[in-house]
Amino acid sequence: RKEEELDSKDAIILHQFSRPRNGVPSLSPFCLKMETYLRMADLPYQNYFDGKLSPQGKMPWIEYNHKKVSGTEFIIDFLEEKLGVNLNKHLGPHERAVSRAVTKMVEEHLYWTLAYCQWVENLHETQKMVSLFGPFSDLLKWIFCHLTKGIVKREMYGHGIGRFSEEEMYTLMEKDMRTLAGLLGDKKYLMGSTVSTVDATVFGHLAQAMWTLPGTRPERLIKGELINLAMYCERIRRKFWPEWHHDDDNTLYESEESSEASKTYSPLQDFSFYSRTETFDEEGNSISQTPDTDYTGHSLFDSDVDMDEYRDHEQCK
């Protein structure tokens, strides 16, 4: 395929994996983290689903004014320096230290246990979500998923966490998720009432448990005992991803007894250029859109999931 020439002058080009088939923006927690961060920081960007890794072999990565940057931490540092954005300016030194500690726990520890669940234990379901097209798409998906499974197992063994038994790995995963639930408590976001960079990180990873691991232990945990984490994920999804819809918007969560036949997914819209502050309607007229409004302009500010709604849903079941 002849590669398309990209002009990254004064525009953020976000390279990431293709959208999966289940309506979730990405099966990669780091890609979802990066795109969510751009939305939280209100930075217009253009997605490029070329599947091409960065020179360091990383995904996602960005181009800005022909400068290539990979690694989500370095990308965020770069954007803060070049564009003057800072989601953490309201945090004190102690809160910044806690945020970094939580980020490293999630990205260097929790990530691997969720990756094991996604690409090893739950590989059959993950294969259904992978988006590949063409005459040999099914074969290519099978090859891709099993190659990824081997890579994940090998890298987990090198990391050290893969040398434990499956039960021991899930014990570690549960401890991490309980730590996040305890830190969040009844707050709106991890560091209080205002979103910060750590929320993009945590959301990118917990969203995998919420929406890409049906019937698994992480999903049962986040939608059961650690319900405040599920509410937190819903809160961020509705605020910063107004076009991301799924079947259960009118109820709250999928019940474990739901049959596969009852699950249908609406594809997530792909924006050739995305900005939360200026969007066009179907007739080409400019409409105002902020993180607190959907594409019709209606407010989503009061759409946060609360515990009373959850209890009502459970009683109905």
Distance CA 210, CA 114 (A): 11
Is 248 a domain residue? no
Higher pLDDT, 196 or 6: 196
Is 274 a domain residue? no
Is 163 a domain residue? yes
Q: What is the mean pLDDT of residues 6-27?
A: 83
Residue 76: which CATH number? 1.20.1050.130
Sequence-distant (6+) residues with CB within 8 A of 312 are none
Band of pLDDT at residue 160, cut at 50, 70 and 90? very high
CA 189 → CA 139, 231, 314, 315, distances in Å? 42, 10, 24, 27
Is 307 a domain residue? no
Is 21 a domain residue? yes
Is 210 a domain residue? yes
Q: Does residue 279 register a pLDDT over 70?
A: no
Q: What is the mean pLDDT of residues 99-120?
A: 96
The helix-helix angle for 227-240 and 307-316 (nearest 10°) equals 110
Least-confidence region, from 82-96, 133-147, 201-215: 133-147
Residue 255 has a pLDDT of: 30
Distance CA 45, CA 14 (A): 7
pLDDT in tens, 32-71: 999 999 999 999 999 998 788 888 888 999 999 889 999 9
Band of pLDDT at residue 7, cut at 50, 70 and 90? low
Q: Does residue 264 register a pLDDT over 60?
A: no
Cα 233 to chain centroid distance, Å, stands at 9
Q: Does residue 158 register a pLDDT over 80?
A: yes
Residue 167 has a pLDDT of: 95
Side chain identity at residue 281, one-letter code: D
Output the pTM of the full model: 0.77
- Which range marks the domain in which residue 138 is found? 12-241
Total domains in the chain come to 1
Higher pLDDT, 9 or 10: 10
Is 103 a domain residue? yes
Higher pLDDT, 129 or 42: 42
Band of pLDDT at residue 111, cut at 50, 70 and 90? very high
Side chain identity at residue 182, one-letter code: G
Closest CA to 222 of 207, 242, 239: 207
Is 300 a domain residue? no
